[in-house]
């Protein structure tokens, strides 16, 4: 069996219990395809770049799983027909990519932390500029 990575965007109005129910349903879909989960990463609620099915936000889930290659199309069909899934993408992984994904640990919302650091740096630069202009004008 091959390894796959699937990124799902669920409706944003789901709470944690409902997200767990969706994961159970996807487990059933994988069981029909003789597959299983390797790793699940809940990325949380994020703003979408554009509206999808009248939604501006979505709940992101990253799944690493195994599945028979002949059954991937039926898995995609099940995901397409499941009403809580806004969008999905299934990608086949090589062995090295699967090993790397299993060894790495997901740290939630690291993008927000990096954005905050960038904001602090720009604020510090602005403060330095204002200090330099005060010194020059004095």
- Torsion from C-alpha of 41, 46, 50, 52, nearest 10 degrees: 60
For residues 101-115, average pLDDT: 64
- Per residue in 43-80, pLDDT (tens digit) is 999 999 999 988 999 999 999 999 888 889 998 999 99
Average pLDDT in the 131-136 region?
54
Who's near 8: CB < 8 A, 6+ residues apart? 26, 60, 61, 63, 79, 85, 87, 88
Per-residue pLDDT at 115: 43
How large is the average pLDDT for residues 1-27? 92
Using pLDDT thresholds of 50, 70 and 90, give the confidence band for residue 135: low
* pTM listed for this prediction: 0.71
Average pLDDT, the chain: 81
Q: What is the pLDDT of residue 134?
A: 53
Distance of CA 10 to the CA centre of its chain: 10
Orientation angle between helical segments 72-81 and 16-32, nearest 10 degrees: 150
For 85-98, how does the pLDDT look when each residue is reduced to its tens digit (9 = 90+)? 999 999 998 888 88
Residue of 124 and 51 predicted with greater confidence: 51
| pLDDT computed for residue 1 by the predictor | 84
Whether residue 27 is predicted with pLDDT greater than 60 in this model: the reply is yes
């Amino acid at each position: 069996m091959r390894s796959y990575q699937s990124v799902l965007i669920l409706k944003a109005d789901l709470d944690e219990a409902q997200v767990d129910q969706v994961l159970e349903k996807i487990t059933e879909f994988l069981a029909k395809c003789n597959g299983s989960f390797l790793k699940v990463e809940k990325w949380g609620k994020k703003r979408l770049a554009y509206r999808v099915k009248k939604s501006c936000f979505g709940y992101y889930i990253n799944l690493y799983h195994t599945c028979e290659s002949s059954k991937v199309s039926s898995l995609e069909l099940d995901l397409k027909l499941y009403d809580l899934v806004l969008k999905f993408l299934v990608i086949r992984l090589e062995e090295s990519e699967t090993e790397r994904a299993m060894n790495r640990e997901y740290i939630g919302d690291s993008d927000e932390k990096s954005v905050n650091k960038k904001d602090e740096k720009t604020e510090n630069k602005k403060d330095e500029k204002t200090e330099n202009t005060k010194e020059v004008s004095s």
